[in-house]
Amino acid sequence: MDSSSHPFLFSLLEDKPRLTSRRVHLRRLYDVLHFSLQRHDMIRARRAWAILARCNEVNWKTLWTLSIGLLDHQANTTESSPVKIDYLRSMMLQHPEEREKILGELVHHFILAGRHKDALDELEFCLPSFPYRDNPVLHLYAGLCCMFHAQSSNDILGDHAARIMIDRAQIFFERAKALDPDNIVVDSLVTMAQCLSQTPSRADHHESDDEDVRDPQTKRLRT
């Protein structure tokens, strides 16, 4: 069967001069999967995926970016869920050659779920090792997680803990800048972290206010 008479919209299997009827059917089914996802027809998309995932010709592990979208219960949702996070953790173990990319997606879902501390813990565990340490996006994520954590620390633990997290964020941002010097977003974040680290804390404001209160009394005693 000549593949030229069967134009396909999405690439799934290796392109060959001649395709069997089975391969043509799988390629068509893969097009149906993509169209269903684009039209938010999750029922049809899951049916197509269920067939493709059982076929020996399809390496379903390499299609994790598609399969995670099928875990949504609603068509237009962009939120994370424990199911997606557990799935990505599983993919990191089963698909080691894609770990760097999967880690970025996992951290993204942690952030969507408001679990910034978990995202930061995951990044700090991986970033010292190769290939993660040379990925500017992962360092950027780590800096953003520190900034989020600094905000919550400021509300709960006080200024000192928040300043520590801001300093850590600045280190991550500067590392991202060194890896990707043309990224203007990173430049802005580095500047923001520097400004925040130089801003007087509330404790400094209180000490200044106390000195202002004491100074007039001292002057009156001298006169």
Question: CB–CB of 26/13 below 8 Å?
Answer: yes
pLDDT at 204 over 70: no
Same domain, 134 and 59: no
Structure-block tokens of residue 195: 């400004």
Same domain, 108 and 175: yes
Count Cα neighbours of 152 within 13 Å in the Cβ-side half-sphere: 9
In a domain, 223, yes or no: no
Give the C-alpha separation, 96 to 100, whole Å: 8
Tell me which of 13, 41, 66 is where a domain ends: 66
Domain CATH number, residue 177? 1.25.40.10
Same domain, 34 and 112: no
Same domain, 56 and 119: no
In a domain, 120, yes or no: yes
In a domain, 3, yes or no: no
pLDDT tier for residue 106 given thresholds of 50, 70 and 90: very high
pLDDT at 129: 92
Question: CB–CB of 18/2 below 8 Å?
Answer: yes
- Say if residue 69 is exposed, middle or buried (CB neighbours under 10 Å; 0-12, 13-18, 19+): middle
pLDDT at 114: 87
pLDDT at 104: 94
pLDDT at 183 over 80: yes
Same domain, 96 and 139: yes
**Top-confidence residue, 48 or 203:** 48
Question: CB–CB of 166/150 below 8 Å?
Answer: yes
Same domain, 49 and 83: no
How many domains, in total, are found in the chain? 2
pLDDT at 3: 47
Same domain, 60 and 97: no
Please tell me whether the overall predicted TM-score, pTM, comes out greater than 0.95 for this model: no
Tell me: the pLDDT tens digits for 12-50?
555 555 667 888 888 888 889 988 888 888 899 999 999
Question: CB–CB of 184/161 below 8 Å?
Answer: no
In a domain, 141, yes or no: yes
Same domain, 87 and 195: yes
- Output the average pLDDT for the chain: 79
Same domain, 183 and 88: yes
In a domain, 164, yes or no: yes
Same domain, 84 and 56: no
Tell me which of 38, 66, 94 is where a domain ends: 66
Where in the sequence is the domain holding 51, given as residue range(s)?
21-66
Same domain, 167 and 112: yes
In a domain, 60, yes or no: yes
In a domain, 149, yes or no: yes
Same domain, 43 and 138: no
In a domain, 10, yes or no: no
Tell me: the pLDDT tens digits for 57-75?
888 778 888 888 888 655 4
User: Whose CA is closest to 14, among 53, 47, 59, 46?
Assistant: 59
Mean pLDDT for 69-86 is 71
